[in-house]
Structure 1
Amino acid sequence: MSVLRAVLIVASCTLAMMVNNVNQTSVSIALPTMAVEFGVTESDLTWVVSAYPLSAGCLLLMFGRVADLYGRKRVYSFGALWLAVFTLGASFANNAMTLDILRGIQGVGAAATIPASLGILAHSFPPSRARTIAFATFAAGAPIGGALGTVVGGVMVQLTKKTWRSLFYLNTGLTVASLAMGLYAIDKDLPSVETDQRIDLAGTFLATAGLVLIVFVLTQGELAPQQWKTPYIIALLITGVIFIVLFLFWQHYLERQMDSARPQSKWKPPPLMRLSLWTRANGRVAVVMTIAFLNWCCFQGWCYWSQLYYQNYQGLTPILTVVRLVPMFISGVICNTIVAFVAGRVPFIYFMVSGTALTSTASLLFALINPSATYWAFGFPASVLSVIGADFVFAAGTLFIAKASLHHEQSVAGAVFQTMTQLGTSFGVTISTVVYDRVLSARASDYGTDSLNAPKPAQLDAYQSAAWSDFAFGIFGKCLHISPALYGF
Structure 2
Amino acid sequence: MSTLPVATTTSHRWWVLVSLSLTQLVVVLDGTIVNVALPQAQVSLGLTDTERQWVVTAYALAFGALLLLGGRIADYAGRKRTYLVGMIGFGLASAWGGFAGGAVDLIAARGLQGIFAALMAPAALALLTVTFPSGRDRNTAFAVFGSVAGAGAAVGLVLGGVLTEFADWRWCLWVNVPIVIVTVVAGALLLRESRAEGDNRYDIAGTLTVAAGLASLVYGFTLAENGWARLDTIGFIVAGVLLLALFVWIESRVAQPLLPLRVILHRVRGGAFLMQAVAGSVMIGGTLYLTFHLQIVLGFSPLLAGLASLPLTVAIAVVAPIATKLLPAIGPRPLMIAGPLVGAVGLLLLSRITPDGAYLTEVLPGLVVLGAGMGMLFVPLQNLALTGVAPHDAGAASATANATMQIGGSLGLSIFTTIYAAASGHATGASSPAALVDGYSAAFVAAAVGLLVAAVVAVVFIRGRKEDLLPSGEHVMVHAG
Same fold by TM-score greater than 0.5: yes
Matched-pair contact (CA < 8 Å) for 2:333–2:462: no
Tell me what 2:304 maps to: 320
Tell me what 2:473 maps to: none
Over the residues paired in the alignment, what is the CA RMSD in angstroms? 3.4
- 3-state SS of the aligned residue for 1:419? helix
In the superposition, relative to structure 1, how do residues 82 and 457 fare at CA in structure 2: closer, same or farther (>3 Å)? closer
Deviation track 1:35-80 (CA, whole Å, cap 9, x = no partner) reads 3333555554443333222322221121122233344343233212
Matched-pair contact (CA < 8 Å) for 2:75–2:196: no
Tell me what 1:173 maps to: 178
In the superposition, relative to structure 1, how do residues 236 and 39 fare at CA in structure 2: closer, same or farther (>3 Å)? closer
In the superposition, relative to structure 1, how do residues 338 and 296 fare at CA in structure 2: closer, same or farther (>3 Å)? same
CA–CA distance in structure 2, aligned partners of residues 486 and 134 of structure 1: 32
Q: When the two structures are superposed, what TM-score results if normalisation uses the length of structure 1?
A: 0.81
Q: Which runs of 5+ in 1 are unaligned?
A: 255-268, 445-449
Tell me what 1:239 maps to: 239
CA–CA distance in structure 2, aligned partners of residues 130 and 399 of structure 1: 21
Code of the aligned partner of 1:275: L
Matched-pair contact (CA < 8 Å) for 2:163–2:172: yes
Which aligned pairs between 1:216-365 and structure 2 lie closer than 5 A?
Answer: 216-222=219-225, 226-254=226-254, 269-280=255-266, 283-334=267-318, 347-349=331-333, 351-365=335-349
Tell me what 1:258 maps to: none
| 1:82 to 2:89 alignment | yes
Deviation track 1:92-127 (CA, whole Å, cap 9, x = no partner) reads 233332222222222211111223344445556678
Deviation track 1:227-261 (CA, whole Å, cap 9, x = no partner) reads 4333333222222221111111121123xxxxxxx
In the superposition, relative to structure 1, how do residues 302 and 484 fare at CA in structure 2: closer, same or farther (>3 Å)? closer
- 3-state SS of the aligned residue for 2:360? coil
Deviation track 1:252-293 (CA, whole Å, cap 9, x = no partner) reads 123xxxxxxxxxxxxxx422221011244xx22111111111
In the superposition, relative to structure 1, how do residues 410 and 64 fare at CA in structure 2: closer, same or farther (>3 Å)? farther
Tell me what 2:360 maps to: 376
Deviation track 1:289-342 (CA, whole Å, cap 9, x = no partner) reads 111112222333331121121122223222232231122344454456667777
The percentage of counterpart residues that share the same residue type is 26
Question: How far apart are residue 186 of structure 1 and its match?
Answer: 5.5
In the superposition, relative to structure 1, how do residues 395 and 68 fare at CA in structure 2: closer, same or farther (>3 Å)? farther
Code of the aligned partner of 2:446: S
Q: When the two structures are superposed, what TM-score results if normalisation uses the length of structure 2?
A: 0.82
CA–CA distance in structure 2, aligned partners of residues 357 and 182 of structure 1: 43
Code of the aligned partner of 1:431: I
CA–CA distance in structure 2, aligned partners of residues 123 and 390 of structure 1: 31
Tell me what 1:473 maps to: 450
Between 306-315 and 476-485, report the one with greater CA deviation.
476-485
Tell me what 1:19 maps to: 26
Matched-pair contact (CA < 8 Å) for 1:75–1:116: yes
CA–CA distance in structure 2, aligned partners of residues 133 and 359 of structure 1: 31
CA–CA distance in structure 1, aligned partners of residues 50 and 312 of structure 2: 27
Tell me what 1:263 maps to: none
Code of the aligned partner of 2:28: N
Matched-pair contact (CA < 8 Å) for 1:22–1:145: yes
Matched-pair contact (CA < 8 Å) for 1:196–1:270: no
- 3-state SS of the aligned residue for 1:59? helix
Tell me what 1:447 maps to: none
- 3-state SS of the aligned residue for 2:258? coil
- 3-state SS of the aligned residue for 1:209? helix
Between 170-179 and 235-244, report the one with greater CA deviation.
170-179
Deviation track 1:114-173 (CA, whole Å, cap 9, x = no partner) reads 23344445556678887666555444444522222221212211211xx12211221222
Q: How many residues align?
A: 459
In the superposition, relative to structure 1, how do residues 27 and 320 fare at CA in structure 2: closer, same or farther (>3 Å)? same
Question: How far apart are residue 474 of structure 1 and its match?
Answer: 0.9
Code of the aligned partner of 2:194: D
CA–CA distance in structure 1, aligned partners of residues 386 and 457 of structure 2: 21
Matched-pair contact (CA < 8 Å) for 2:222–2:415: no
In the superposition, relative to structure 1, how do residues 401 and 40 fare at CA in structure 2: closer, same or farther (>3 Å)? closer
| 1:159 to 2:166 alignment | yes
In the superposition, relative to structure 1, how do residues 486 and 419 fare at CA in structure 2: closer, same or farther (>3 Å)? farther
- 3-state SS of the aligned residue for 1:271? coil
- 3-state SS of the aligned residue for 2:43? helix
Between 115-124 and 286-295, report the one with greater CA deviation.
115-124
